[in-house]
Amino acid sequence: MRSYKVSQNRQIRDVVFVDGVRTPFGRAGEKGIYASTRADDLVVKCIRELMRRNPSLPAERIDDVAIAATTQTGDQGMTIGRTAALLAGLPKSVPGFAIDRMCAGAMTAVTTTASGIGFGAYDVVIAGGVEHMGHHPMGAGADPNPRFMSERLVDPAALNMGNTAENLHDRFPAITKARTDAYAVSSQEKFAAASANGQIQPDMVPVATLKSEQGWNVNTVDEPPRPGTTMADLAALRTPFRAHGRVSAGNAAGLNDGATAAILASAEAAEELGLSVKMRLVQYAFAGVSPEVMGIGPVPATEKALKLAGLTIEDIGLFEINEAFAVQVLSFLDHFGIADNDPRVNRYGGAIAVGHPLASSGVRLMNQLARQFQEDPSVRYGITTMCIGLGMGGTVIWENPHYIPNSSLPSQARPGNPAAVAPTNTDGSAA
């Protein structure tokens, strides 16, 4: 058997985020823009666009392709990282694989391949995710082990994400429906403003789709946003997970279709190949929580990542928090003593407006953070974080390569918001 000698002086290499793209996000269902489009074809669009945008990257230099999907069957099956790489025209020498960590699929594709870069196994990778919830509704075809219920391993609510959000409301009574609705309105407003300012469109790849009645359409904008949403609009919506509940379609992300992909590289490979550097990966962490309150997952994941990085929450100048539910975002903000309207948080709006095609969303957060880094050199560190089904959270800390110490702050600038609320523990008590 061949033996290998591993150097005791091996250095972990710097990992950089080179570029990221996504398709426009669509509404799931037969009336959605991707009703007749395959999930793997959405991934192919993203990979081809990345290669077009980065012509100095030889395709044969890509060391692996990691693509996530929550429901790995049908047009999201067949080891989609490999099949999408072949369909996109990458050399047959480029391998690929599939990943599943539910909502954090693309995030995990990034952190997994980034670890390989840091260790020296890779120089350049493509990582991303896809979810066609119109073709594959969440949980479709799943067969949860009966022990979950018979042995009370988890609360029955853990298998329904809407119920877990209602449980968070129970745990944190200060997070009222009015407060979550106000946050949702703000998300819609911020996303509409970012779109009007051209801050969203640069990361999107147009997708042509066939509508039998209308012929071919070229989709260049997201389908889910509802600009102009008001508090009155949201107050009129029903609460499907609980009678007289607090979670509605208006203060939660919808059921959506879409794909994302990103190029990651070692800092050395990026310099060699003349690739851009939009962010540097600092640290990441995943953590588990009780499945019936899965929305609190970003709190311990962020605490863990900060500790590993030797940073504190005060060091973070920008937050991209996935908005699966408004209550989940607000529980995170309350824990860390951050105000609901803090300008560091989701400057471009979030999933409540743009949608959450499960396994794809992690790279959308990264795209948005990277663009904000470019706009704001006063910020050194930012995070992308999200809750994950079955009781988990994931957080990635990034460093801004455009950071200028002591630079003047932009007009909507960050730090120290005196209106921030008092920190809380995850059980709702004062910290």
| Whether the Cβ atoms of residue 80 and residue 97 lie closer than 8 Å to each other | no
Q: Three-class SS of residue 82?
A: helix
Question: Look-up: residue for tokens 């979810």?
Answer: 131
The percent helix, strand, coil of the chain (3-state, each to 5) is 35, 20, 45
Neighbouring C-beta atoms of residue 186, cutoff 10 Å: 20
Please report, for the chain, how many H helices and E strands are present, in that order.
12, 12
DSSP calls for 158-223: GG-HHHHHHHHHHH-TTS-HHHHHHHHHHHHHHHHHHHHTTSSGGGB--EEEEETTTEEEEE-S-S
How does DSSP classify residue 318?
E
In this structure, are residues 347 and 260 in contact, taking their beta carbons and an 8 Å threshold? no
Per DSSP, 345 falls in state B
> Shortest CA distance to 95 belongs to which of 77, 105, 81?
81
DSSP 3-state of 16:
strand
Give the list of residues 6+ apart from residue 14 with CB closer than 8 angstroms, or none: 118, 266, 267, 280, 281
Question: Which residues is 21 bridged to in the sheet?
Answer: 261
Burial of 328 (0-12, 13-18, 19+ CB in 10 A): buried
Q: Which residues contact 418 (CB under 8 A, 6 or more apart)?
A: none
Q: List the one residue out of 289, 355, 279, 287 whose CA is nearest residue 317.
A: 279
- Asked if 356 is an active-site residue, the reply is yes
Among candidate residues 172, 390, 146, the one with its CA nearest the CA of residue 291: 390
Catalytic residue among 103, 135, 169, 335: 103
Known active-site residue 46:
no
Any idea what the Cα angle at residue 274 is, between residues 403 and 105, rounded to 5°?
70
Rounded to the nearest 10 degrees, the angle between the axes of helix 361-375 and helix 105-119 is 70
Which of the residues 132, 135, 136, 356 is marked catalytic? 356
**Alpha-carbon span 252 to 258, nearest angstrom:** 17
Measured in residues, the chain has a length of: 431
Active site residues: 103, 356, 387
